[in-house]
Chains A and B, each alone.
Chain A
Amino acid sequence: DQQVKQNSPSLSVQEGRISILNCDYTNSMFDYFLWYKKYPAEGPTFLISISSIKDKNEDGRFTVFLNKSAKHLSLHIVPSQPGDSAVYFCAASESNNDMRFGAGTRLTVKP
């Protein structure tokens, strides 16, 4: 069962514009959400996180929004840069060590 879903396998945006990556989850017990970024031939690297007691967390150009009632979170990147081109994974956990990942969205930022 896919508890964390990223329904868009790919996204292409122009440099300087906003990138919005979406993620949906089914388990209402998830209380911590993370975004990871992955370049080819490398392991994922942590980008930003949010706990279920918040609805927004910002870190520079990256903002994560959480809508608990809709079981939806999104990652906004503003402004997008070519170096942001990577695969982005959404992940969620339930106060334990079992983190569930989405299938990833490949972001391409065109110069």
Chain B
Amino acid sequence: NAGVTQTPKFRILKIGQSMTLQCTQDMNHNYMYWYRQDPGMGLKLIYYSVGAGITDKGEVPNGYNVSRSTTEDFPLRLELAAPSQTSVYFCASDSSYNEQFFGPGTRLTVL
């Protein structure tokens, strides 16, 4: 199993550009999550999904959108990138709500 994979690993965006962060898991987990981690801070939940077709907001959803058309994929969309979205983004999945498996992260810089 590859576990949770994320692409790209790094990205630099200009203010106002848009992009999609990809996340795929091959463990057949129903639950998937997007977090961001700012320097010196813990992970903050952006959005999560409890199954295909179902998504919900986490602690810091503003400026982001998600979709969940399949069990495996949970892309995160930034429509109008802002410097405040410079962060490391982690995708995670699990079969219950507790022991989450994380991807390696995407480091995003918005200039």
Are the chains A and B members of one assembly?
A: yes
Q: Which residues of A contact B (CB under 8 A)?
A: 4, 6, 9, 32, 34, 36, 41-46, 49, 89, 91, 93, 95-104
A sample of 19 inter-chain contacts (CB < 8 A) reads: A4-B42, A6-B42, A9-B40, A42-B104, A43-B90, A46-B100, A49-B99, A89-B43, A93-B97, A97-B48, A97-B50, A97-B56, A97-B97, A98-B45, A99-B45, A99-B100, A101-B42, A102-B42, A103-B41
Q: Which residue of B lies closest to A47 (CB)?
A: B99
Please state if A49 and B42 are interface contacts (CB–CB under 8 Å).
Answer: no
Q: Which residues of A contact B99 (CB under 8 A)?
A: 34, 46, 49
Please state if A44 and B41 are interface contacts (CB–CB under 8 Å).
Answer: no
Determine the distance from Cα of A95 to Cα of B97 in the docked complex, in whole angstroms.
8
> 20 other contacts beyond A95-B97, A97-B33, with CB at 8 A cut-off?
A6-B42, A43-B92, A43-B102, A43-B104, A44-B43, A45-B102, A46-B99, A46-B100, A89-B42, A91-B43, A93-B97, A97-B31, A97-B48, A97-B50, A98-B58, A98-B59, A99-B45, A101-B43, A102-B42, A103-B42
Q: Which residues of B contact A99 (CB under 8 A)?
A: 33, 45, 97, 100
Please state if B101 and A46 are interface contacts (CB–CB under 8 Å).
Answer: yes
Q: In the complex, how many angstroms separate the beta carbon of B38 from the nearest chain A beta carbon?
A: 10
Q: In the complex, how many angstroms separate the beta carbon of B97 from the nearest chain A beta carbon?
A: 5
Determine the distance from Cα of A65 to Cα of B58 in the docked complex, in whole angstroms.
28
Residues A34 and B98 in contact in the complex (CB < 8 Å), given A43-B92, A98-B59: yes
